[in-house]
Amino acid sequence: MKKLLLTILVSLMWSNISIAEVIFDKWKINANEAAVRVEKLGESDLSGAFTYALLKKNNKCDLMTIYFSTMSNGKYDLKELLGLKIPIKINGMGPLEAMIANTRPAFDAKTIAGLDLSKEQIDKVKNLQNVIIQIGDPRPIDGYDFESVAEKIKIDFVKVDEFDPSEYFSNLSVTWDLSKNRAAVDKGRSMCNGYSDKKITSESNESVTVKTGGTNEKKYSLFGVFIGDDVNDYQPSNKDYIPHTFIIQPPKPNKDFILYYAGIDKKNNNIVWIGGIHKKNYPLGNQLTTKKMLSVATKCRFDNKEYVRMIAKGKQFEEFNYDMDDFNERLDLNELLIFDGDKVDYSNRNIKFTISIGCINFKDGTIVEGEEVGARAHIKLFDFRNIDQLAKEEEERIKNKKDNSGLN
């Protein structure tokens, strides 16, 4: 029962629908009904996020709980260890007491499917978990010494007779740059009452946020390119690109992106999805390992999820719903569903669009001559309104194309 209550409490803090999200100097701040989370991704491979969870009471945040997340090694299901007290060291001091507070799958099936892995590697990745660990009890914000960890914080798991961390975790030492932590917490604290920062702030929101078409039929767009338009309206080229996908010239390019493309309905050249590739490269270096690939992809998604949020909050999607909470919380999640109604209903096909972020095509790092092989963020808007009809047409096309002479 104690484990169950702990799981429910932490899930509420992490899973309520976000009312406000802002980015503050590389810190991500999310406000919901239960808390304001101020968090930053770690520096080491798959180290997860370091989080100040500001606890709300009477529209004030006077207390906070500190968490960090890290990756399991996949040997065990760490749900069995919820509530377990474990020893850690912080910047060499300790041991101090921490507690395993929650777990969730590290990577969803779609992310795993997109990686070039063997069956054995896939089986290992499926068992990985993102483990949320609480440091100490809730404490007053005003009494906390932020300056002591203002530059970097290093957390080491400590081996004792009762607990060997190497049996459970991929990394036994994780590091975060916590520069401007006090300013970020103060920013989060100001959001406890009023949520004055509902609009996402970013250098790029003006040109990424999309607009609707001016015709009687409402149209949806990204980078000024409208779904349903003929791809030939955008100077298409498919040189060295995948079939039925064209590199295009958008009317509203964004300074953060270097390449734009569109996928078409093969029977009429109409655009069914639109994408852009970000200019920032996340190089692999010479560590061509599964762990390094997953680490690079995770950091790439974390850094660029803001574009997905900006697109979803555009006026053109006001009539629809989406679960921003789940998308914000899970580092592995790479797709935001835009749907009719109160919740996703797969049986009634109420998903209208998806906005996705992909960071697993490591050849993209060579788009710019001289750069290392690495990952770049792909941001994509996909029209799902006619997906069933398109699937039927494609199935029929393949069926008619095959020669069945002598087979039946």
pTM: 0.52
E strands, 25-92, are 27-31, 35-41, 49-57, 60-71, 85-90
* pLDDT per residue rounded down to tens, the chain (408 residues): 334 333 333 443 444 344 456 777 788 888 777 788 899 887 655 568 899 999 887 778 888 999 999 888 888 888 888 888 899 999 888 888 899 988 888 776 666 666 666 777 777 777 888 899 999 888 899 888 888 776 788 999 999 888 899 999 888 998 888 988 999 999 888 887 644 333 333 333 333 333 333 334 568 999 999 998 988 889 888 654 566 788 899 999 999 999 999 988 877 888 989 999 999 988 877 766 667 777 788 888 888 888 998 899 888 898 898 888 777 766 666 788 898 888 887 666 788 899 988 886 666 666 777 777 788 899 999 988 876 666 666 666 666 666 666 665
pLDDT at 152: 84
Give me the sign of the Cα torsion angle 8, 10, 14, 18.
positive
Q: Evaluate the omega torsion of the peptide bond into residue 95 and state whether it is cis, within 30 degrees of 0.
A: yes
Asked whether 336 and 325 are in contact (CB, 8 A), the reply is: no
Identify the burial level of 122 via C-beta atoms within 10 angstroms of its C-beta, where 0-12 means exposed, 13-18 middle and 19 or more buried: middle
CA 257 to each of CA 37, 249, 314, 373: distance values in angstroms, whole numbers, following the listed order: 29, 12, 19, 18
Let me know how long the chain is.
Answer: 408
Which residue has 């709980």 as its token pair?
A: 65
State the Cα–Cα distance between residues 261 and 247, nearest whole angstrom.
Answer: 4
- Mapped onto helix, strand or coil, the DSSP state of residue 221 is strand
Average of per-residue pLDDT values in the chain: 77
pLDDT at 56: 83
CA 207 to each of CA 21, 171, 265: distance values in angstroms, whole numbers, following the listed order: 19, 39, 26
pLDDT at 10: 43
Name which of 305, 301, 312 is nearest 354 in CA terms. Answer: 312
Task: For residue range 211-242, list pLDDT tens digits in order.
Answer: 333 334 568 999 999 998 988 889 888 654 56
State the Cα–Cα distance between residues 238 and 232, nearest whole angstrom.
Answer: 12
Q: Write 59-63 long-range contacts (CB < 8 A, 24+).
A: 59/192, 59/193, 59/194, 60/192, 60/193, 61/35, 61/36, 61/141, 61/188, 61/189, 61/192, 62/140, 62/141, 62/142, 63/138, 63/139, 63/140, 63/141
Which strands, in side-by-side order, build the sheet including 378-383?
A: 245-247, 257-265, 270-278, 378-383, 351-358, 335-339
pLDDT at 407: 64
Q: Write 12-19 long-range contacts (CB < 8 A, 24+).
A: 13/37, 13/53, 13/55, 14/102, 14/132, 14/329, 15/325, 15/326, 15/329, 16/325, 17/323, 17/324, 17/325, 18/324, 18/325, 18/328, 19/195, 19/198
CA 52 to each of CA 22, 55, 179, 280, 391: distance values in angstroms, whole numbers, following the listed order: 15, 9, 13, 28, 46
Name which of 292, 290, 289, 239 is nearest 261 in CA terms. Answer: 239
Beta bridge partners, 174, equal 155
pLDDT at 23: 75
Phi/psi of residue 13, nearest 5 degrees = -65, -35
Task: For residue range 313-356, list pLDDT tens digits in order.
Answer: 888 898 898 888 777 766 666 788 898 888 887 666 788 899 98
Asked whether 317 and 381 are in contact (CB, 8 A), the reply is: no
If you compute the radius of gyration of the chain from its CA atoms, what whole number of angstroms results?
23
pLDDT at 371: 78
Residues 6+ apart with CB under 8 A from 240: none
